[in-house]
Amino acid sequence: MSVMLDIAAIFDRAGSPPAKPAPGQEERNRRVLTTDVTSFEAAGVLAEVHNSLAEADRQYALARGRALDPVAKPESADVDRKLMERLSFERDRLSVAVTQLNDRVAQLQEQEKAKAYQAALDAAMAERDELAARLRDRYPALVTEMVALFTAIAASDARLATLNRKGEPLLIGAEYVARGFATHATHVPRLWQSRLVKFDPDEAQRGLAWPVPAPVSLSIRHG
């Protein structure tokens, strides 16, 4: 910054000029504050400004110490007093930059979070819609097929039950054969114990697709 370069020239007489700020820092500040950048880049610029502010604070303390030194020559004290004025302005300017850059970093982080959330939401909604389409296309036919299969298996089991002989192993049904069981496995859940809901919301309110509801018998009593 131009102010810092003037300070460096003044300090040449002390043999210890202050560190110069990074070239183009003010331009980077403006870029972060006025254009679309990442929060990572903005945080890097903010760190630079923090370092510049710390250096300005250090230089101000040194200049103040020399200006107030009772043995300092009046002309030297006057130079340091003017230097303090410049450094005070520079510190105020850097402090404002820190505040604005802090706000900008927070703003960019929120924007990035919002973009990431929207991307995740869009992906989740697209997946949901794809699954909904698959479910709509396949579930009704699958339920119809499974109900017919379970009904046929139940009828087959009932038929086999009539053919069991006393003292001989029980005849196993189609499900046991399909699943690889050699004998009855009473501890294993059976497929027919599944509950299949009806797909249509209106129909679903009237009961399950499986198990098939038992028919209601009405008895009429004559008085």
The pLDDT value given to residue 218:
53
Distance CA 86, CA 118 (A): 47
The phi, psi pair for 72, rounded to 5°, reads -70, 145
Residue of higher predicted confidence among 209 and 221: 209
Lowest-confidence segment of 48-62, 63-77, 176-190 by average pLDDT: 176-190
Given a cut of 80, is residue 4 above it in pLDDT? Answer: no
Residue 3 has pLDDT above 90, yes or no: no
- Give 207 or 196, the one with higher predicted confidence: 196
Mean pLDDT of all residues in 197-203: 84
* Residue 214 pLDDT > 80: no
Phi, psi torsion values for 22, nearest 5 degrees? -60, 135
Say what the pLDDT of residue 21 is: 54
pLDDT in tens, 59-98: 999 999 999 999 999 999 999 999 999 999 999 999 999 9
pLDDT at 1: 40
d(CA 70, CA 191): 99
What would the pLDDT profile of 121-173 be if each residue is shown by its tens digit? 999 999 999 999 999 999 999 999 999 999 999 999 999 999 999 888 889 99
Residue 223 pLDDT greater than 70, yes or no: no
Residue 24 is given by DSSP the state T
Helices 39-67 & 25-34, crossing angle to 10 degrees? Answer: 140
Q: Which pLDDT belongs to residue 188?
A: 87
pLDDT mean over 109-116: 97
- Amino acid 51: pLDDT: 95
Q: Do 108 and 38 meet the contact criterion of CB atoms below 8 Å apart?
A: yes
* The pLDDT of residue 9 is above 50: no
pLDDT of residue 20: 52
pLDDT in tens, 16-50: 444 455 668 899 999 999 999 999 999 999 999 99
d(CA 56, CA 21): 10
